[in-house]
Amino acid sequence: MKFNAGEIASVIQKEIEDFRGQLQTSEVGRVVEVGDGIARVYGLSSAMSGEMVEFSNGVRGQVFNLEENSVGVIILGDYLKIAEGDEVKSTGQLLSVPVGDSLLGRVIDPLGNPLDGKGPIVASESRPLEMLAPGIAARQPVKQPLQTGIIAVDALTPVGRGQRELIIGDRKTGKTAVAVDAILNQKGGDVICVYVACGQRSSTTGAVVEALAKHGALDYTIVVASGASDPAPLQYIAPYAGAAIAEHFMYQGKHTLVIYDDLSKQAVAYRQLSLLMRRPPGREAYPGDVFYCHSRLLERSARLSDELGGGSMTALPIIETQEGEVSAYIPTNVISITDGQIYLEPDLFFAGVRPAINVGISVSRVGGNAQTKAMKKVAGGLKLDLAAFRELEAFAQLGTELDPATQKQLDRGYRMVELLKQPQYQPLSMADQVIMVFAGTRGYLDKVAVNRVQEAKQVLLTFFTDEKSEVRNAIAQSGELGADAEASLRAALDEFVKRWESSYAAKTTK
């Protein structure tokens, strides 16, 4: 076999000419100090704030502090496996989380790792945890309602798509229950839900996931969980991970609902990290930028303009108060960022009024803009009526004699309070809510005993579902209560009242 030397030489020469050396360079530093979820690293002189770094054992971290001779890194994993002198490699990338449809129905940690034992998550896209909020020109006004299915919320403090409505109250007053019911009510709709459990006990998060699965809501929900036993860095980034996941769908023109449960625990985690990093403490030992920590998160909620697809991201942040102290540092901060608040009162909760919404303190700054025309019409004066009832109730406790008109107002108030009570996991459709509020405010339940209002409510819903479905469907389809629809509704309610009175009389004579 003969070799052609010239041919071999030309091939070698061509390979040499085409050769392009590919050098992969990355800055490497060393751990100077480590402990309590943070590390000081020397040698990463060109690291960016918020950049992702990688320790020699594969654990990831995020650059938190930029100092003169070192950088402070928060460790997103087990810091006990990291020792002084370990290598730390910069990646040149911001900390990101996987996003997309493959996450639906899954329970993940803030880094996108599965926690539900259903196998790995295969996501084709990822999104940085921290993104700039859309500007004024990129938004449009909040006008489309996001139905929570809770009559006290949809009638009195309505939530619109793109709004940020705070749920605030002491522990064990039903804050998570309100948020979970809002998720359940999106079943069969076009809203994708993200539930962020930040600093919650694993058993609490497990109960929420179980409830969502039981009611068929997990199909359109993503759960981002960072438990109370997780390191503070993971609790701090959990809400940002949830926002990034929801934001991905929003920029695709879809509607999303994201729940941060709860931001007071995130603030505590942020305080812990800041104090460990020697950042100067301010009021209640929180760092000076704790307001920015929450505002940059909640400002990402918006209703995008039609040019950007018209998608929306609605936020229901949750804040836990101590002894009803809404004027504490973190509650006042978040109240000033959000577009209203739903205040849950322990006294009402223990008195059996559930959801325990204090109508006087709760407010929606979007108001009637986020209601259907039918609900706006029937619930217009309800809030003032209930506020007047609370005053009269306090006055009546003095034992003074009341004139008939005042007594009538008081009696109706008691029935409206009963009407607004609602069991958990039983959200109501918009049409059912309109019928209920109309019946209560227009006096159709005045002759029903207060202790039987809940029973009458169920009978009323069954009556309209089975026998007067055309009236109910007309309200549901149009979202309005015109003269004809109102006449039909009044006629149906008159018929219901007669039937109720005859059946009630029959029950009492037995």
Active-site residue set = 365
Residue 327 has a CB neighbour count (10 Å cut-off) of 9
| Sheet with strand 166-169: strands edge to edge | 107-108, 221-227, 191-200, 255-261, 312-320, 166-169, 340-344, 363-364
State how far Cα 290 lies from the chain centre: 20
98, 87 Cβ separation under 8 angstroms: no
Phi, psi of 39 (to 5 degrees): -140, 145
d(CA 477, CA 475): 6
Long-range contacts of 348-355 (CB under 8 A, 24+ apart): 349/172, 349/173, 349/174, 352/421, 353/417, 353/420, 353/421, 354/174, 354/421, 354/422, 354/423, 354/424, 355/150, 355/152, 355/153, 355/174, 355/177, 355/178, 355/422
Q: How far apart are CA 150 and CA 429, in angstroms?
A: 9
Helices (H), 125-254: 151-156, 175-184, 202-214, 232-250
Q: How far apart are CA 307 and CA 255, in angstroms?
A: 15
Judged on CB neighbours under 10 Å (0-12, 13-18, 19+), 354 is buried
Q: What is residue 132's DSSP assignment?
A: P
The CA distance from 475 to 31, in Å, is 65
The percent of the chain in helix, strand and coil, each rounded to the nearest 5, is 45, 20, 35
